[in-house]
Amino acid sequence: MKLRLNIEELNEDFFEDTRLLGITAPLKNYQFCLQLNHLLGYDFRVNPGIEVHLKKKDRSYYFTVYESKEPNSFLTHYLYHNQFDGEYLLPEFRHMDFLWLMKGDWVDDEKCSWIKQSVKNLNGVQLVAELTNEQIKNKGNMVF
């Protein structure tokens, strides 16, 4: 008997009860994280254990993932850099520089709106938009 891994189901599970923002901000990762940490009170730090590694055409691409845990909650915020060396983590969102995933606990509309508005007001941020699961074609690229 062969067991088959259902990747689509895994991806759906990973994205269950998550919210995802796409952010256009032509800033360096560390500059953007510094602003989020200092001005919005997050604690984004690079987590090398969940860095995303993609192989395309015999080349390796590494997408940095920053992590910030919410105190007294299961909620964790993950900030992905969407671009590395000309490749995109989510090619369907080439215009987005960062992807902000909220996972582990439900984020209500009010909190999501507050985050969107606060990020929009940061220096260098041009666009913040919520992305729906249906819009994401390459979900598997974000799963760690």
Tell me: pLDDT of 133 over 90.
no
Read off the pLDDT of residues 69-110 as tens digits, 9 standing for 90 and up.
Answer: 999 999 999 999 999 999 999 999 999 999 999 999 999 999
Domain assignment present for 85: yes
E strand or H helix at 30, and its extent? helix 29-40
Tell me, what's the pLDDT at 34?
96
Determine, yes or no, domain membership for 5: no
Instruction: Give the closest residue to 102 by CA, choosing from 126, 124, 80.
Output: 80
Q: Rounded to an integer, what distance in angstroms lies between the CA atom of residue 14 and that of residue 67? A: 16
Does residue 91 sit within a domain?
yes
More confident residue, 3 or 17: 17
Q: Is residue 10 part of a domain?
A: no
Average pLDDT over residues 33-57: 94
pLDDT at residue 43 greater than cutoff 70: yes
Q: Would the pLDDT of 33 be above 70?
A: yes
Tell me: pLDDT of 5 over 70.
no
Q: How many domains does the chain have?
A: 1
Q: Is residue 84 part of a domain?
A: yes
Q: With contact defined as beta carbons under 8 Å apart, do 52 and 135 qualify?
A: no
53 domain-assigned: yes
**Residues of the domain holding 56:** 19-142
Is 68 inside any structural domain?
A: yes
- Convert 25-38 to b/e letters by CB count within 10 Å (16 or more is b): bebebeebbebbee
The answer as to whether 2 is a domain residue is no
Query: With bands split at pLDDT 50, 70 and 90, how would you rate the model's confidence at 24?
Result: very high
Mean pLDDT of 12-41: 93
Of 13 and 95, more confident = 95
